[in-house]
């Protein structure tokens, strides 16, 4: 919730949400002639279907105050949709725009009296909702001015020609740091104690009651090669804290969670046991079976082609008759129809004869009915630990959407680690930082009353290059 004040002094409490199809009528009612000259003639329904992000601003009565639509390609025909980066690099090589950190504004409409406040609130919400976003571009005909609203948030970068006809278009840019800046992360200092304690006390007082009033200052002073404390700051004031440690109880995690997708959070080792001996023997025997399959098929064909002697035929028929009699007797036992001594003796004779022909070891009927409890194999990892853990984390609610800014810095502190883990009680509400982690699946024998979350270093990649395979 935010509060907007009009030049006349009127106040509106507003909030942002995703645009819905039922908003189309209200959006059309806010379009003016100036809007069409700035953005061109638009099919609103088609635009919303193609949009990467569409945001609607409403007041406390759910009346639409403003709307903005963003896509990942320019809003005028100044470059190909899949090759606009090179055009903008030629315009200004100092702007590191990529398809992953850039959006284009294709439409903005607002109630005239609150248009400036609505525009700033929507842009702040967009930058907050998309942490990877750094640039928003707006392209308009060069002879057009942005108007009194958009000019307050966009700065002109330059002009580029149109692809279809002779006309230039002006390129305007809105940068993240003007609305929801990226946080500066550094090593914690004891002086940060006074800025951080109010944030901690706002969420929980157990730490202070358990470890004393100055537990945070003591934690910061106790930093060494294995333990680090970092803070994020805004204008010189610490607004978030994270304590990380390279000592992780890997044995406990291996016993409680299925870490196979991440190789047990360990580095590969020649002595790792990743498959059960039974699976290994099956895999090795498969190759031998494949090699002998052709020879075996030929032998079977030859045997089928040989004539069957009368004695052999009698033996086969006798075996079949004994198997059928045994199956009938077993069925009678299961159905409860065997009650007389003669039937029991008959069943015993048949079972004895059946065992002689098939070499089956005698077992009790209960052991045949009740299945044995399966034993699940668990890999054994002998490599060094590739993970560090988050021991303590807290951030001001106003900046929690930028929690991921911590991760680049803490991974630089542990250059030899590939994973960051954090464990939380089962009923802990999900917060922004955890949304970037992967929740691990516990074993049914897990005794740890916490959930485990894992983040891989590769999650920090900001650019992906694709090429033809050779």
CA–CA gap between residue 253 and residue 69 (Å, rounded): 45
| Contact indicator for 86, 98 with CB cutoff of 8 Å | no
According to DSSP, the β-strands at 102-110 and 135-141 are parallel
C-beta neighbour count of 272 within 10 angstroms: 16
Is residue 26 classed as helix, strand or coil in its secondary structure?
helix
| Contact indicator for 386, 417 with CB cutoff of 8 Å | yes
| Contact indicator for 19, 55 with CB cutoff of 8 Å | yes
Structure confidence at residue 321 (pLDDT) = 54
| Contact indicator for 78, 163 with CB cutoff of 8 Å | yes
C-beta neighbour count of 30 within 10 angstroms: 18
- CA distances to 87, 92, 153, 463 from 73, rounded to whole Å, are 12, 17, 20, 17
In terms of DSSP H, where are the helices of 61-108?
Answer: 85-91
In the DSSP assignment, the letter for residue 437 is S
- CA distances to 111, 113, 157, 402 from 6, rounded to whole Å, are 11, 6, 30, 30
Domains and CATH numbers, the chain: 2-178 (3.40.630.30), 184-264+381-460 (3.40.630.30), 277-304+314-360 (no CATH)
Compute φ and ψ for 97, nearest 5 degrees. Answer: -80, 140
In terms of DSSP H, where are the helices of 336-387?
Answer: 341-358, 365-369
- For 286, the token pair is 């498969």
Count H helices, E strands: the chain? 15, 17
CA–CA gap between residue 65 and residue 15 (Å, rounded): 10
Entry pTM: 0.71
CA–CA gap between residue 428 and residue 433 (Å, rounded): 13
- CA distances to 232, 240, 373 from 395, rounded to whole Å, are 8, 4, 47
- For 191, the token pair is 């002086």
Is residue 4 classed as helix, strand or coil in its secondary structure?
strand
Structure confidence at residue 288 (pLDDT) = 64
**Regions of the chain where pLDDT drops below 70:** 277-375
CA–CA gap between residue 377 and residue 266 (Å, rounded): 18
- For 423, the token pair is 């464990």
DSSP 188-218: --GGGHHHHHHHHHHH-SHHHHHH-TTHHHH
């Amino acid at each position: 919730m935010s509060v907007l004040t009009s030049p006349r002094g009127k106040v509106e409490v507003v909030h942002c949400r995703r645009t819905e199809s039922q908003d189309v009528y209200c959006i059309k009612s806010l379009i003016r002639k100036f809007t069409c000259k700035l953005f061109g003639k638009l099919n609103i329904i088609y635009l919303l279907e193609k949009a990467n992000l569409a945001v609607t601003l409403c007041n406390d009565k759910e009346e639409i105050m403003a709307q903005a639509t963003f896509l990942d390609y320019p809003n005028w025909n100044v470059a190909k949709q899949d090759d606009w980066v090179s055009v903008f690099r030629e315009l200004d090589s100092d702007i590191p725009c990529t398809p992953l950190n850039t959006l284009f504004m294709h439409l903005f409409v607002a109630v005239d009296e609150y248009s400036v406040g609505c525009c700033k609130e929507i842009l702040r919400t967009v930058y907050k909702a998309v942490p990877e976003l750094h640039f928003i571009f707006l392209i308009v005909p060069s002879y057009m001015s942005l108007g009194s609203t958009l000019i307050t948030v966009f700065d002109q970068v330059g002009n580029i020609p149109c692809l279809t006809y002779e006309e230039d278009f002006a390129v305007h840019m809105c940068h993240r740091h003007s609305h929801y800046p990226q946080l500066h992360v550094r090593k914690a200092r004891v002086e940060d104690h006074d800025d951080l304690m109010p944030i901690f006390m706002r969420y929980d007082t157990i730490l202070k009651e358990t470890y004393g009033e100055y537990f945070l200052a003591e934690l910061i002073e106790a930093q060494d090669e294995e333990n680090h404390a970092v803070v994020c700051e805004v204008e010189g004031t610490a607004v978030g804290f994270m304590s990380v440690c390279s000592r992780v109880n890997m044995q406990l995690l291996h016993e409680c969670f299925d870490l196979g997708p991440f190789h047990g959070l360990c580095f590969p080792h020649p002595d790792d046991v990743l498959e059960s001996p039974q699976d290994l023997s099956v895999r090795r025997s498969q190759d031998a079976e494949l090699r002998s399959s052709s020879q075996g098929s030929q032998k079977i064909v030859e045997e089928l082609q040989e004539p069957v002697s009368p004695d052999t035929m009698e033996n086969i028929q006798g075996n079949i008759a004994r198997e059928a009699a045994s199956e009938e007797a077993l069925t009678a036992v299961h159905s409860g129809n065997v009650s007389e001594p003669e039937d029991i003796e008959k069943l015993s004779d048949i079972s004895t004869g059946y065992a002689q022909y098939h070499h089956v070891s005698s077992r009790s009927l209960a052991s045949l009915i009740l299945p044995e409890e399966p034993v699940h194999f668990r890999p054994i990892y002998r490599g060094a630990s590739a993970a560090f853990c988050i021991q303590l984390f807290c951030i001001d609610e106003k900046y929690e959407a930028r929690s991921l800014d911590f991760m680049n810095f803490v991974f630089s502190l542990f250059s030899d680690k590939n994973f960051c883990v954090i464990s939380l009680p089962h009923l802990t509400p999900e917060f922004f930082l955890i949304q970037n982690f992967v929740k691990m699946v516990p074993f049914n024998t897990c005794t740890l009353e916490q959930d485990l979350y894992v983040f891989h270093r590769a999650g920090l990649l900001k650019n992906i290059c694709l090429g033809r395979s050779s």
